Amino acid sequence: MRRSTDGWWRVELPDIGANDEVRYGYLLDDDPTVLPDPRSPRQPDGVHARSARYTVDATRWTDERWTGRPLAGAVFYELHIGTFTPEGSFDAAIERLDHLVDLGVTVVELMPVNAFDGTHNWGYDGVLWYAVHEPYGGPDGLQRFVNACHARGLAVALDVVYNHLGPSGNYLPRFAPYLSADANTWGHGLNLDGPYSDPVRAFVIENALRWLRDFHLDALRLDAVHALVDHTATHLLAELAAEVERLATAVRRPLTLIAESDRNDPIVIAPRAAGGYGLHGQWNDDMHHAVHTAVSGERQGYYSDFGSLRALEHTLTHGFFHAGTYSSFRRRTHGRPLDTTVTPASALLAYTCDHDQIGNRALGDRPSAYLTDGQLAIKAALVLCSPYTPMLFMGEEWGARTPFQFFTSHTDPEVAAATAHGRVAEFAEHGWPGVEVPDPQDPATFHRSILDWDELEQPRHLRLLSCYRRLLALRRSRSELSDPWLAHVSVDYDEVERWIVVRRGALRLLCNLSEDEVKVPITGVSLLFWEAPTEGPSATTMPGHSFAVLEDR
């Protein structure tokens, strides 16, 4: 190879065709180790092995009539390909897509599928961002999955991780200064603003465009963007948003960028013309915390400021709970207010649980393990009747009893040991002292986390599933529930009696969060439907752990 004036090394090779048996790699300086291509499109033999050539076969696309889906009005469903089915593959997941259509989902959000070390992993330890994990079915499997989703009217979103790389198989620093000296939770961050950072930024942006363009994906969820350190005049996210907007014009369908941000900073979703980054949406952990603590009573760790109905009311009507207010967990002021006259509530994704809020519990236990069925239904109603874009986590719709635990399969023993030790230390710090944390490397931890679809044969699970279907059908049929403007939401509550009423136009959601029957002072309403563990509401007398949807007469 010869070095060019721009710093790149190049060599022209004869065409070797698309033979699957052909492998290639790089030798750097005097090191005899052959390294995979940093932009490898396929890794049939794992992330430490040589790369294979791959080009998406355009003749296999069957979604010519697909016109995409915008974020507003969407219902997301987050799933992990490896545990969504016992087979853990794209093809097996296709067999369950009709379940999602019947449920009322419109967007399937995949946890990361880029190449990582080992056979099973959450996906956030990816090291070869351009390759699709082979045990899931590789790039051909992803193409088949997208085709199948689009054929059913389902959009596909993909979780991508640009704030760090995994600890095993990360050879990027050997090739160029891809990493910065700054450290984040997972190690060194990317070099986004230092010397030679232009090609690093291009590495990220071109990867994002590849998923949207070459694999016909509709949206990207950007993991932990608060860990992206960028002091340039144009933040990486703003640059990415501009490039995605350009691509959306070319492919003639909406393309959506959704951030996970810990900062409660509206700049992420503010328009670029107003000085924002111009992303379309972001996850709203405050909504999760407000709903979860009000229903469950948990107050440990970062839940410490939540739990009251006042906190739930404020989050339902203002977007963020912490918005320039003191966070006792962080021991500082946190967040900024959201301008609800400019930013629609649909730009915030709300959820009763997600992979983090389950998997980052010490035991990975779902809410179904410690809440009543009535409490699960209340959480669903508060999210699905909220003004925010709702997101479900796989299995929650039937109250799945299988946990979702943190699992890895690192081939490096030192990395495996460090991962297990780090989990124990983390939970001790966050209010779970003395809990026996499952070993992420134990294959049993992974197998325990696989959904049990046979649960759908049990009446208890079918009843909750019916509740979710009815709530989502109501959200589709009543424009009041999809209205994205927070000014049109009002909330009444009684902190002592533990009831709350959320008003959306002519509709009212009435929830009794206590175990005891309560009488709520509401008149002039008729009952649309209710969910209660015992006999349903009489007028506005509510059994414990129940909800009702009412309509003004």
Active site (catalytic) residues: 223, 260
CA-to-CA dists, residue 436 to 175, 363, 424, 427, 449, angstroms: 40, 8, 8, 10, 17
Single out the residue of 188, 225, 186, 185 nearest to residue 204, CA to CA.
Answer: 225
Question: 448, exposed or middle or buried, with CB in 10 Å at 0-12, 13-18, 19+?
Answer: middle
DSSP secondary structure of 359-396: HTSTT---GGGTS-HHHHHHHHHHHHTSSSEEEEETTG
Q: Tokens standing for 205?
A: 């942006």
CB within 8 Å of 128: residues ≥ 6 apart? 36, 38, 40, 43, 47, 114, 115, 169
Helix (H) / strand (E) containing 469: helix 459-477
CB within 8 Å of 225: residues ≥ 6 apart? 163, 237, 259, 260, 261, 268
Q: Which residue has the tokens 């070095």?
A: 3
Q: What whole-number distance in Å separates Cα of residue 146 and Cα of residue 150?
A: 6
Q: What whole-number distance in Å separates Cα of residue 193 and Cα of residue 178?
A: 11
Is the separation of the CB atoms in 379 and 295 below 8 Å?
Answer: yes
Q: What whole-number distance in Å separates Cα of residue 291 and Cα of residue 286?
A: 9
Q: What whole-number distance in Å separates Cα of residue 148 and Cα of residue 42?
A: 22
Helix (H) / strand (E) containing 529: strand 525-531
Q: Which residue has the tokens 């900024």?
A: 336
